[in-house]
Amino acid sequence: MKSKKPKYKIRKVVPAVSLQKLNAGIDMKKPRTYSFTNKIYGKQRTPLQRAAGQVQKRCGTRPKYKIRMVARRKVYLDTDIFYDPKIKNATMMIGAGQLIICRNKKTKKHFSLTRYIMKAKKGELVDHRNRKPLDNRRSNLRIATVRENNLNRILKNKTGYIGVHLNTHKTKKGRLPSCYCGHHRYGGKQHFLCTPYTRKGLKLAALARDKFVIEAGDEEFAPLNFPIFKNEPFKTILLKSDLKEYKKSR
């Protein structure tokens, strides 16, 4: 009997070579080699990474920051701070809250990296704009008070919005949800707005919380649920609107 031919065909796919590799003139058949930096971090750069580095070097688009490994984590620093002799000759460690602490090898004294970069005075705090303690570039740091530093955080809750919580009430069947509440404290008072237990009511409560933040002037430090209201003309539209009437209409 004749053997049946298979109903499928095998096709070999050749990987496409990117333009960056062709412009850089990298030979794909050339064996990979380790560099000094690769030996330190225990990683080997791919041909695409080497090609991207050569293109950045030609165009002058290399990043203006340096990365220092501390406890197997990347710490971002400006170039002048990276080569600063006081920082270069110090051992770094990660303290509470993932804050970087430096230790002088000669004097054995400890000091905070962020306070050294920003030259913070006594009673001042250093806040990270993107809430990432390992990103210690000057563009990400700013001087703040205790209240401003506490505002720049995102508390996790079940609603998915900042400054919004779900109110419940007791029944015979147990506690059932009643309404959403958007709140923000400023001027020694707690400002809040309760909205119906619906999807639209949830968004309205989040919008009310953003309005309270803008009225208090805390939008620079406190993250908004809808960042578009930081800009004009949306900011004035939100401040002039009466959300209580909108809640009644719904």
Pairing verdict, β 189-196 and 125-128: unpaired
Percent of the chain with pLDDT over 90: 44
What's the alpha-carbon Rg for the chain, to the nearest Å?
A: 28
The 10s digit of each residue's pLDDT in 137-184 is 999 999 999 999 999 988 778 888 999 999 998 888 888 888 999 999
Answer yes or no: do 47 and 146 share one domain: yes
Distance set, CA 125 to CA 4, 96, 103, 112 (Å): 78, 15, 20, 11
Residue 27 lies in a domain: no
- Give the domain-ending residue among 151, 179, 194: 151
| Structure tokens belonging to residue 88 | 């270069």
pLDDT in tens, 82-121: 999 999 989 999 988 888 999 998 888 999 999 999 999 9
How many domains is the chain partitioned into structurally?
A: 2
The residue length of the chain stands at: 250
Q: Which of 133, 115, 139 is nearest to 73 (CA)?
A: 133
pLDDT digits (tens, 9 = 90+) for 44-56: 667 777 777 776 6
Average pLDDT over residues 4-26: 56
**Residue 211 in domain:** yes
Q: pLDDT (tens digit, 9 = 90+) per residue, 72-89? A: 899 999 999 999 999 998
Q: What's the DSSP call for residue 113?
A: H
DSSP state of 89: T
Please check whether residues 138 and 183 belong to one and the same domain: no
- Decide: 210 and 238 in contact? Cβ < 8 Å: yes
